[in-house]
Chains A and B, each alone.
Chain A
């Protein structure tokens, strides 16, 4: 099979290696991986355009120019279809694409004469993204049955399954398998590719305990966890978000109302790092709180770190003496491509409805299962998409809270699907 080179806007496809186009020369240019995500590459494609008549040749050239106009329009104004240059190398079953962001056509000096004979040699100048990606996405896990309880809300993706040469954004889909009316609120998504994804889950369990604090007193420790040497070797001094989940309370009274939480890391009595105050609000409206990002360990990474203590503390205007009902703490890697927060601002989602985070199209939405999977744009995004690194295992974490009267339920089940378009520098 010969090489196949195409321009496509998703509706029309111009095959530059057949029909009225003959590919004379094209050598894709690769770039530095450190800049591939941000640079555009300028390339020339030499083509011979042929047709039964002059107007046929002109039409074929105009078809390319039309496609380039679409690409420029999309790049400048964000409107219209994306235009890709697609390339399938002879002998490779996969087709790769790179988004075109501009370009133009030069005719060769003798082109006018050649038109009369139904042929014209042209030089197609294109500007495209700095990477290639598989046209067909690769599904890494499909509807993996997860539970929103800290210990079963992660899935490990094998490193061998993640191909390509560049990190690629993950398309994450979370399907409600729990109940017919679920008030999804905030999703905390994490991707751990560099901190022992196979061994480190970031899950710190709690059984709850009694706690007493005085009105206005400085931080009272709700609960402390030891971060042992193994954990610290895994975290390796990187930043981790500390997300704490409070379990439901049978009494209906909750200690997490109208208090201020804070997380800190200590060695002995010395505080090495601490987060800011996080207000829980005047009512029991929320039970999962992001206490901020801390470097673990804060004092610099060594493979033989002594154990440190991670504490969740409370301070409040009113005294209280209650059980704190912390269910668990989830440590989620922080940093570009490692943490993402999505908020569903609609209301109840139905059974089998799916939240889709698709960074390839830039859209985040809920698919309405009961209405033909129509897309509902009721999700906002903070942070960059999760990234998958080729050749590296990755643990995906998906934790969420809800916005109804019972804002956190650790028994909620969901299906987790992760797909991606492998990215590479060269085809």
Chain B
């Protein structure tokens, strides 16, 4: 005869297994049916309480007691807790359930902040200590939209008051007095715990500002004036934004770092005409009034003139008349008279205005390199998590200008005196083809894992694989709002790391990863009623381990189990009799341990009856006799047993076989 034993709830926790309880000897606990699945092992059980009516009412007090079912062999065949008690008595059926009970409540609320953005926040938890002491901690995170903190906390308190004790319901029922315990496996209690893990993510959210990456050019058409202007006859300053800094090298006299006070506001342009005439000492005229394309303060290059070809600075400009800066030494000098007739070309580039002074007037000629700060962009960070973890990928938000063809290298570096160390700890690549004009988050998978420690500064460095360019380059998204407190942004000038002229933080994501089986180990270990976790064989699959605490441990473990293994095997997680979560890969299909007989019984592989009442789950069974046509089409045997149910009164074990539903991952091995 199968029996059931209650376990004292006060002694059941993650440390000890718990003491059995002596119940009224007039009562008998008769298991009726129970089942088990590959997701959690012992699943549901129904136990009838038989005895005198007055003693039967003891069952009301057994909610959350542990319960074990034992077969004739003395084997514990099902283990769990009493989740619900149903008693029919006095013309009513009463159900007392832990379903809607919660004794530790938080509210996840969302609201619109002052700047119009949608913000989510989690209130602190409130707990009912008496309920926790009696039943264990059963958490609830209740979602609430369009509510600020005060409203959310009020709802939280109301929920706790209403839900801290088990939910009771009743309805008329004329049946004879009965009492039934509806039990659940301990795996279910993982749904009582909301799991959070601060490890595995260090991030600075979004930003709306841009930082050019790899913007620059080299040209022999760069000129300088002591009026703090720097000109490029090719118009290559068109994308250099104000307030950025540039480094100039290769010039004869003006190599220096400059801050762009005024960005170039025109593109390169030119005019070729036979109507252009020159009048000494500083006039260029055009009777057809086409000189409006030339702007005051620009440098133009005159070609086609016998006497006036060369560079001139424009001091005044109308549609018919340009006035040159005669004193601009490096230029072609004063204008001499020359009548219209020859085909004259006036070419105008563009220029920037620097904040800093330009030392000398210098005309084009030298091979000058102008590079915007940000030939590489770096962001430092320190872990905000309480412990270290291993980084595997870095994300940045990136857009492109033009059509750059070179990839982006994103690397992690140690800190060297406040700037990235020369050698990277690891790096990854973002393909040029994955970058669009509109900035988007893109991942660089690191070539090697990087263990990160708390209290240590690290750097993310983004760099172009190719050369700087003035119209094909990238924009890294940064946040000039400076909401990230864990680090700072620096820009590579070509020779040194410098602070960004307008301070900002790069938008970044540094993520870690752990084996899914290691994560299951950690998550299940937080279960109040889980005594241990045994992982037999790694999944070989990694994923990010961060969790924000809005999902339960059960949901997370199921999701990780559903991932399966790197060999396309199902992962099985089942609670043992000792309340240990046993995680393993599915057995080899070729090693079916059971046999389904022609008379519809589950036997051992040797054809012997198996121990009565023992649930067989997560194993393969051969089918003794299959019509050959079916087997040939469907490879029907062996089949994976995803669930089995034992009917105690009938003495029958009914297996549920895996389906071919590709979306039902837990049974995909059929």
Q: A: which residues have CB within 8 A of B?
A: 76-79, 216, 218, 237, 239, 241, 258, 260, 272-273, 276-279, 281-282, 285, 290, 292-293, 295, 298-300, 315, 317, 334-336, 338-341, 343, 345, 362-363, 377-384
Contact = CB atoms under 8 A, between A and B. Distances in A.
A380 B21 contact: yes
A281 B17 contact: yes
A238 to B, nearest CB: 10
Interface in B489-505: none
A39 to B, nearest CB: 15
A340 B604 contact: no
Contacts of B16: 281, 285
B250 interface: no
A362 B532 CA distance: 36
B3 A382 contact: yes
B606 A335 contact: no
Contact of B534 (A279, A336, A384): A279
A285 B577 CA distance: 17
Contacts of B577: 276, 278
Nearest to A380: B20
Contacts of B55: 78
Residue of A279, A315, A339 ringed by the most chain B CB atoms within 10 A: A279
B75 interface: yes
A339 B73 CA distance: 7
Interface residues of B, number: 41
B20 A334 contact: no
Given A78-B51, A239-B611, A384 B1 contact: yes
A383 B75 CA distance: 8
B536 A315 contact: yes
A282 B22 contact: no
Given A216-B535, A362-B25, A239 B73 contact: yes
Contacts of A277: 534, 576, 578, 580, 582
Contacts of A290: 74
B52 interface: yes
A276 B3 CA distance: 20
Contact of B608 (A285, A295, A339, A379): A295
A79 B26 contact: yes
B522 to A, nearest CB: 12
A343 B20 contact: yes
Contacts of B74: 241, 290, 293, 334, 339-341, 382-383
Contacts of A334: 73-75, 611
Contact of B5 (A241, A260, A380): A380
Contacts of B73: 239, 241, 293, 334-336, 338-339, 383
B5 A279 contact: no
Contacts of B52: 76-79
B23 to A, nearest CB: 9
A340 B71 CA distance: 11
A162 B578 CA distance: 39
A298 B580 contact: no
A240 to B, nearest CB: 9
B611 to A, nearest CB: 6
Contacts of B607: 300
Contact of B532 (A282, A377, A378, A379): A282
Given A340-B74, A383-B72, A276 B576 contact: yes
B19 A345 contact: yes
Nearest to B28: A78
10 contacts: A78-B55, A272-B606, A273-B604, A276-B576, A277-B582, A300-B607, A334-B75, A345-B20, A363-B25, A382-B70
Given A241-B73, A382-B76, 18 more contacts: A77-B51, A77-B52, A78-B55, A239-B73, A258-B532, A278-B577, A278-B578, A279-B580, A282-B532, A292-B75, A298-B608, A299-B606, A300-B606, A300-B607, A336-B72, A336-B73, A341-B70, A345-B22
B534 A383 contact: no
Given A293-B74, A380-B5, A279 B22 contact: no
B580 to A, nearest CB: 4
A194 B606 CA distance: 23
Contacts of B534: 260, 277, 279, 315, 317
Given A78-B52, A278-B576, A377-B22, A382 B611 contact: no
B479 interface: no
A276 B27 CA distance: 31
B608 A237 contact: yes
A298 B578 CA distance: 25
Contacts of B608: 237, 295, 298, 300
Residue of A237, A281, A382 ringed by the most chain B CB atoms within 10 A: A382
Contacts of A341: 70, 74
B390 to A, nearest CB: 18
A87 to B, nearest CB: 28
Interface in B31-64: 51-53, 55
What 9 pairs across the A-B complex have the smallest Cβ distances? A78-B26, A380-B20, A334-B73, A279-B578, A77-B52, A339-B74, A336-B72, A383-B74, A279-B580
Interface string B564-585: 0000000000001111101000
Nearest to A342: B20
A376 to B, nearest CB: 10
Nearest to A185: B19
A43 to B, nearest CB: 26
Contacts of B576: 276-279
Residue of B5, B20, B53, B70 ringed by the most chain A CB atoms within 10 A: B20
Contacts of A378: 22
B651 to A, nearest CB: 12
Nearest to B576: A277
Contacts of A298: 604, 606, 608
A282 B637 CA distance: 41
Given A78-B51, A279-B531, A293-B611, A380 B22 contact: yes
Nearest to A403: B19
A298 B605 CA distance: 10
A382 B531 contact: no
B557 to A, nearest CB: 18
Given A298-B604, A298-B608, A380-B21, A282 B5 contact: no
Contacts of B611: 239, 293, 334
A208 B408 CA distance: 62
A338 B72 CA distance: 9
B15 interface: yes
A282 B15 contact: yes
B68 interface: yes
